């Protein structure tokens, strides 16, 4: 898979606000493709990427007519509680990757997962709950759920490389969730790094 060239943004765009969202959404998008669940309930979504020194910038626009989340605080198992947007990120040469979850009502789950450990450690062993690994905002209007996030990333420098995958649990009443991802996964497993999008940060 060829590298995706990611555009640099001014350092002033280091806050996850809706001005940054509008700027990122002018970049070439990564569509989220159906992975599993009731296919007839699949709704489209698209992600956008950028960077500034030391940060990956992520925006997403997801169709959703029945947003739901029973999450009441950070660091819960959000995918069991309703809709979730997930960001997977591994900087080149990092010994771990990040799994970052966002719920529609503004809660987070953040995991730092060792790359070389098999089988993958339990969630409790990877949970980071004593600091914020990223900043984000979320909003929903007119059948859309939108997310903007800024993630510290040491690889985000001119010529740096990383891998990223943007994924989604689209929950709904009385049905299994619909899973989708920007990665073309050969099986239902968001953690397959070989299928994540390779990034090249260009100046």
For residue 22, what is the enclosing H or E element?
helix 18-24
How big is the chain, counted in residues?
Answer: 203
Going along the chain from its start, the domains and CATH numbers come out as 4-202 (2.60.40.1190)
The answer to whether residues 68 and 174 touch, using CB atoms and an 8 Å cutoff, is no
pLDDT in tens, 125-156: 999 999 999 999 999 988 999 999 999 999 99
**Does residue 14 carry a pLDDT above 90?**
no
What pLDDT is recorded for position 49?
98
Distance CA 56, CA 154 (A): 9
Q: With cut-offs at 50, 70 and 90, classify the pLDDT of residue 124.
A: confident
Distance CA 157, CA 62 (A): 28
Rounded to the nearest 5°, which phi and psi values hold at 123? Answer: -55, -40
Residue 178: how many CA atoms within 13 Å on its side-chain side?
A: 20
Share above pLDDT 90 across residues of the chain, in percent, rounded to a whole number = 87
Distance CA 47, CA 25 (A): 8
CA 53 to chain centre: 19
Structure tokens at 119: 């089988």
What pLDDT is recorded for position 47?
99
Q: With cut-offs at 50, 70 and 90, classify the pLDDT of residue 25.
A: very high
What pLDDT is recorded for position 61?
98
Phi/psi class of residue 22: alpha, beta or left (left: φ > 0; alpha: ψ in -120 to 50)?
Answer: alpha
The reported pTM is 0.96
- Please give the angle made by the CA atoms of 37, 38 and 41, to the nearest 5 degrees: 120
What pLDDT is recorded for position 128?
96
Per the prediction, the chain carries an average pLDDT of 95
Q: Mean pLDDT over residues 5-13, rounded?
A: 92
């Amino acid at each position: 898979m060829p590298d995706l060239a990611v555009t640099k943004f001014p350092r002033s765009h280091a806050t996850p606000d809706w001005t940054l969202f509008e700027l990122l959404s002018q970049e070439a998008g990564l569509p989220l493709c159906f992975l599993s669940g009731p296919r007839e309930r699949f709704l489209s979504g698209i992600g956008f990427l950028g960077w500034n020194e030391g940060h990956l910038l992520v925006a997403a626009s997801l169709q959703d007519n029945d947003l739901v989340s029973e999450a009441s605080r950070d660091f819960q198992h959000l995918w069991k509680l309703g809709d979730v947007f997930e960001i997977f990120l591994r900087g080149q040469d990092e010994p771990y990757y990040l799994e970052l979850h966002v719920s529609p009502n503004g809660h987070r789950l953040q995991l730092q997962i060792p790359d070389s450990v098999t089988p993958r450690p339990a969630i409790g062993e990877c949970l980071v709950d004593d600091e914020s690994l990223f900043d984000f905002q979320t909003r929903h209007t007119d059948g859309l759920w939108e997310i903007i996030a800024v993630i510290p990333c040491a690889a985000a420098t001119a010529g740096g490389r990383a891998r990223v995958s943007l994924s989604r649990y689209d929950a709904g009443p009385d049905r299994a969730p619909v899973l989708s991802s920007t990665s073309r996964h050969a099986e239902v497993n968001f953690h397959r790094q070989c299928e994540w999008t390779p990034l090249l940060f260009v100046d």
